Amino acid sequence: MASKSVIPALRAMIARELIEGYGLKQEQVAMKLGVTQAAVSKYRHQVRGEAVELEAASEVQAMSKAIALMLSQSPNPLAVSQTLCQACTDIRALGLMCETCR
């Protein structure tokens, strides 16, 4: 169930960081995240990716900023995937997943 709650919430944070922090366009962010431009628009306007409240946790903010930095520097896709997987593991350890996912 993390794929339905945590991953979209994390993607939303990353998308907003790439747009606001790195000045990328929604189309560029979509390509980097492997989602559609429409999904990025929904992430940006908090219509999608808000099932789990992650932004209040400073640890998760740091994770999303680190992943955004990786994505901004034309990273290795495997390294990004591994970092996302580790972020989900860390989020679970912090007890921030929804009740179903714990």
Interatomic CA distance for residues 86 and 91, integer angstroms: 9
Interatomic CA distance for residues 42 and 34, integer angstroms: 15
Q: Count, in order, helices (H) and strands (E) of the chain.
A: 5, 0
Per-residue pLDDT tens for 6-55?
Answer: 888 899 999 999 999 999 999 999 999 999 999 999 988 876 545 456 77
- Please state whether the predicted TM-score (pTM) of the whole model is above 0.75: yes
In angstroms, the Cα distances linking 95 to 51, 75, 88 are 15, 29, 11
Domain boundaries in the chain? 2-101
